[in-house]
Amino acid sequence: MAKDTIASFYKFTSIKNPKELRKIATKKAQDLKLKGTLLLAEEGLNGMISGAAENIEAFRVFLGSQKDVGELRFKLSYYDDVSFRRLLVKVKKEIITIRQDLDPTVETGHYLDPLEFEKWYEEGRDMVVLDTRNDYEVAMGTFEGAIDPNIKSFEAFTTYIDEHLAELQGKPIVTFCTGGVRCEKATAYMLKKGMKDVYQLEGGIISYFEAMKQLAKEGHWKGECTVFDKRKAITKDLEPSSKQICYVCLHEMKGEEVAEEEGPGGEICKSCDAKTKASQGVRQERGKLKAQANQLSRKAHLKG
């Protein structure tokens, strides 16, 4: 099987008619046989798609030709299997949800090149390294000495900042996330709250991995990195994880935690398997009740 090329990308830019862009982007992606997710909003776009390498490039050129989008940088990785099961192009209020009035095109943290970030580590720079990701992502891996805000969703990051504002002041703060998009808004919020000397790892963890791999350096990352495709996590060498990871909750599973049967997305933990089956049972029961109600309604109509 040919390798699946996976492209992750985002851009904050004013999109006047995201619904129209959704229509033409969906058709183009379907024509190119691409799968994955593309989120569109008036504030920009955020996507992770996969397919043949030449088709990924054709889609990049297509999006870049749209006047509201312009030049896009695709971060590429590869997988020996199908990365996504379907194509989903959605219009949302935000391309990364934080529910705050922020505009990263106006104000966001300084971009810190991965090599410069590594240099800061090697120099022993007095800095705060702040993870902006969710708790299950941090559990898979994080930077040496990084602060874990212990959040369940990105929206909760603002609460963490509000509660720790004073203790985070006084040192350079370097935020990081998987590909960079969360840090754009995270640092925008931090600046809005009056914080100074705020940085974001340019290109995110993925770009850091790429930089360390090119230099054959170990770097300061501990563990693996959660990704949101069929790989579920990748190593520092950008290879798919060999760990058993539940495709629903994305937590690593021990042998006794793995459900006997796989779900539609692969291996699943017993807890998520039980919840999924219970949810399916509720939906099936609702479907039966709806069908019965429709049947009674038809009978009543015929009698009338």
Query: For the segment 74-110, what is each residue's pLDDT rounded down to a tens digit?
Result: 999 999 998 999 999 999 999 999 999 999 999 999 9
pLDDT tier at 279, thresholds 50, 70, 90 = confident
Confirm if 90 and 191 have CB atoms less than 8 A apart.
Answer: no
The set of long-range contacts for 116-122, using a CB threshold of 8 Å and a minimum separation of 24, is 117/174, 117/201, 117/208, 118/208, 118/211, 118/212, 118/217, 118/219, 118/220, 120/174, 121/220
Q: How many CB atoms neighbour CB 232 within 10 A?
A: 23
The fraction of the chain above a pLDDT of 70, given in percent, is 95
**Average pLDDT over every residue of 216-233:** 97
pLDDT surpassing 80 at residue 302: no
How is residue 123 written in tokens?
A: 């120099």
- Cα separation, 254 vs 239, whole angstroms: 21
pLDDT tier at 283, thresholds 50, 70, 90 = confident
CB-based contacts of 19, cutoff 8 Å, min separation 6: 91
- Cα separation, 6 vs 146, whole angstroms: 28
**Average pLDDT over every residue of 172-195:** 98
Residue 287: per-residue pLDDT: 77
Residue 2: per-residue pLDDT: 60
The fraction of the chain above a pLDDT of 90, given in percent, is 88
pLDDT surpassing 90 at residue 301: no
Q: Which phi-psi region, left, alpha or beta, contains residue 88 (left: φ > 0; alpha: ψ -120 to 50)?
A: beta
The pLDDT tens digits for 62-81 are 999 999 999 999 999 999 99
Residue 296: per-residue pLDDT: 66
249 included as an active-site residue: no
Catalytic, out of 177, 246, 269, 272: 177
Confirm if 7 and 48 have CB atoms less than 8 A apart.
Answer: yes
pLDDT tier at 292, thresholds 50, 70, 90 = confident
- Cα separation, 181 vs 12, whole angstroms: 9
The pLDDT tens digits for 48-58 are 999 999 999 99
Residue 238: per-residue pLDDT: 94
Residue 44: per-residue pLDDT: 98
b/e 240-257 (16+ beta carbons within 10 angstroms → b) = bbeebbbbbebbbbeeee
Query: What is the pTM assigned to this prediction?
Result: 0.90
Amino acid, single-letter form, for residue 117: F
